[in-house]
């Protein structure tokens, strides 16, 4: 069954000036003749007022130049968290963050080719590793600025850095060279790009304002505005291992992203995807690189391939490179089956610092050969099914938490990781198991799992008495820009 398509986010027609929503009072913003002082701006938002574009620019300027004290930044973030921002305020905040640093500029001829994807974070989510080179093989330019893992979710940059030599720090000039030679790059956020967002993100993390919709929206889109894209697809996760537990909460963020993108002149589509079960069959940095390569071999887990092709198909359709998302998905799938996505991945690795011989061996080798080329854990431990039954679910959150304890994740920025630590799911959802059958293989550097870790992992396996069944797609819903819903 096709996933439902929802017009987003506020109305079935393009957002017009004054058509405001989600969290703030209506009416045109005030434009005072002189800039307000920070305490006045904080008071205005605290009391439910609206900030003008000039107010927001002034606040962001003070954040970047250091004149805003930490307590003032925290107070403003909390006022926004409690009172909300309307659509025009959020557009203004996104623009101010985007303009707080350098802008990426590309040849004019590239404009219709520039696309990207962003994910709100999940367990086993290695989509970016496959999608960027697949889109490049379809003729797109993908300047992907990615992040690191924090907490229980894995980061794309950490996964790529598990490949010896891979360098995520690239100057704008180097990024342009990568797009010219390869068609894609996956890089980290420079301190010169969107510096205000970096400061606010750190402050949000310690002020209990991480879950503010306008702040999340502005943070995500400001980094994409700097990329000067023509289209963006955002993978908004929901479920027990996602930022948003319910699909309704994820839909609200998705609608905000689409609406603000429209206000910025950026075509944004948002896919709602389930994150109760890990994506694919592996979790952990090098294990996920290996699985991404399997997907680029034209094999690998069906749920990973499904999500890669659907998200890529949406982008090709938004840019007019396909008549419909399904046609675009077919084009993306072809790059996985004919090896052209894998070829782009090899070229990206070699151009971003990996020894060309290693890049070639990784991309042309067998799964066993690939494992020998990447860092791997010292020990492996298998867990056995405690009873007969059909696999209803493997809970992603307890699995990710145990792997985090074993060194696959970090609790603070800058902490070292153990790239070989991870887990392989030996069974799939819907599969019938017999008691004593191995269902999970844990890769660890410690001598063995502790008792609590083993119990937590066994608790992640949910069995039932029903007959075997086909696992559902994680893709649940698509929210499109208003002008695209009638196509």
Among this protein's residues, is 285 annotated catalytic? no
Per the residue annotation, which of 156, 273, 282, 309 is the catalytic one?
A: 156
Locus of tokens 């367990």: 123
* 394: phi then psi, degrees, rounded to nearest 5: -115, 110
Instruction: Give the H or E element holding residue 164.
Output: none
How far is Cα 197 from Cα 215, in angstroms, rounded to an integer? Answer: 9
d(Cα 128, Cα 308) in Å, to the nearest integer? 8
Q: Is 404 a catalytic residue?
A: no
Q: Which of 116, 125, 303, 343 is catalytic?
A: 116
Active site residue 118: yes
**What are the CB-based long-range contacts (under 8 Å, 24+) for 329-336?**
331/138, 332/131, 332/134, 332/135, 332/138, 332/308, 333/305, 333/309, 335/133, 335/134, 335/137, 335/138, 336/130, 336/134, 336/295, 336/296, 336/297, 336/298, 336/305, 336/308, 336/309
Catalytic residue among 50, 223, 305, 319: 223
Place of tokens 């893709």: 475
Rounded to 5 degrees, what angle do the CA atoms 231, 200, 407 make?
85
Choose, from 152, 204, 310, 347, the residue flagged as catalytic: 204
Point out the catalytic residue in the list 36, 117, 126, 310: 117
Q: Provide the sign of the torsion angle of the four alpha carbons 372, 438, 298, 291, taken in this order.
A: negative
Strand arrangement, sheet containing 438-444: 282-283, 422-425, 438-444, 379-384
Tokens 């209803």 locate to 392
Quick check: is 204 catalytic? yes
Helix (H, G, I), strand (E, B) or coil at 481: coil
Strand partners, 443: 380, 422
Residue 156 catalytic?
yes
Could you give phi then psi for residue 444, rounded to 5 degrees?
A: -145, 155
Check 120, 162, 209, 219 and give the catalytic one.
219
Active site residue 116: yes
Asked if the peptide bond before residue 260 counts as cis, ω within 30 degrees of 0, the response is: no
Q: Is 81 a catalytic residue?
A: no
223 is catalytic: yes
Catalytic position from the list 119, 120, 162, 273: 119
Annotated catalytic residue within 148, 224, 321, 376: 224
Instruction: Characterize the bridge pairing of strands 422-425 and 282-283.
Output: antiparallel
Catalytic positions, written as ranges: 116-119, 156, 204, 219, 223-224
């Amino acid at each position: 069954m096709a996933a439902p398509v929802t017009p987003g986010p506020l109305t079935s027609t393009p957002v017009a000036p004054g058509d405001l929503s989600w969290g703030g009072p209506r009416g045109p913003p005030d434009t005072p003749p002189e800039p307000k002082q920070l305490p006045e701006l904080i008071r205005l938002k605290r009391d439910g007022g609206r900030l003008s574009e000039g107010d927001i620019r002034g606040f962001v300027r003070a954040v970047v130049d250091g004149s805003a004290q930490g307590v003032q930044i925290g107070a403003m973030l909390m006022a926004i968290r409690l009172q909300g921002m309307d659509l025009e305020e959020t557009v203004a905040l996104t623009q101010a963050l985007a303009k707080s640093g350098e802008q990426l500029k590309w040849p004019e001829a590239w404009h219709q080719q520039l696309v990207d994807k962003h994910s709100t974070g999940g367990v086993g989510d290695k989509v970016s590793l496959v999608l960027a080179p697949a889109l490049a093989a379809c003729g797109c330019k993908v300047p992907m600025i990615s992040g690191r893992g924090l907490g229980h979710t894995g980061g794309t940059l950490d996964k790529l850095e598990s490949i010896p030599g891979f360098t995520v720090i690239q100057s704008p000039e180097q990024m342009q060279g990568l797009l010219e030679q390869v068609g894609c790059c996956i890089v980290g956020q420079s301190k010169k790009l969107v510096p205000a967002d970096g400061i606010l993100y750190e402050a949000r993390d310690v002020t209990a304002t991480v879950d503010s919709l306008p702040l999340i929206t502005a943070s995500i889109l400001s980094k994409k505005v700097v990329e000067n894209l023509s289209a963006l697809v955002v993978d908004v996760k929901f479920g027990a291992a996602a930022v948003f537990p319910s699909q309704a909460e994820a839909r609200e963020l998705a609608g905000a992203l689409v609406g603000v993108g429209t206000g910025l002149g950026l075509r944004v589509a948002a896919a709602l995807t389930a994150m109760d079960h890990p994506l694919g069959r592996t979790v952990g940095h090098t294990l996920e690189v290996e699985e991404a390569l399997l997907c680029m071999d034209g094999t690998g887990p069906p749920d990973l391939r499904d999500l890669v092709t659907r998200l890529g198909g949406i982008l090709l359709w938004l840019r007019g490179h396909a008549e419909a998302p399904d046609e675009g998905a077919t084009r993306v799938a072809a790059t996985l089956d004919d090896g052209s996505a894998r070829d782009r991945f090899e070229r990206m690795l070699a151009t971003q610092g990996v020894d060309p011989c290693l890049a070639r061996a990784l991309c042309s080798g067998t799964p066993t050969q690939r494992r020998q080329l990447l860092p791997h854990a010292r020990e492996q431990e298998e867990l056995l099914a405690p009873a007969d039954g059909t696999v209803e679910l493997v809970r992603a959150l307890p699995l990710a938490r145990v792997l985090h304890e074993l060194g696959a994740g970090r609790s603070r920025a800058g902490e070292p990781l153990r790239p070989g630590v991870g887990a392989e799911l030996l069974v799939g959802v819907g599969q019938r198991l017999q008691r004593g059958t191995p269902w999970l293989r844990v890769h660890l550097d410690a001598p063995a799992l502790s008792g609590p870790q083993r119990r937590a992992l066994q608790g992640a396996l949910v069995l039932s008495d029903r007959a075997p069944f086909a696992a559902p797609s994680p893709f649940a819903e698509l929210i499109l820009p208003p002008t695209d819903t009638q196509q």
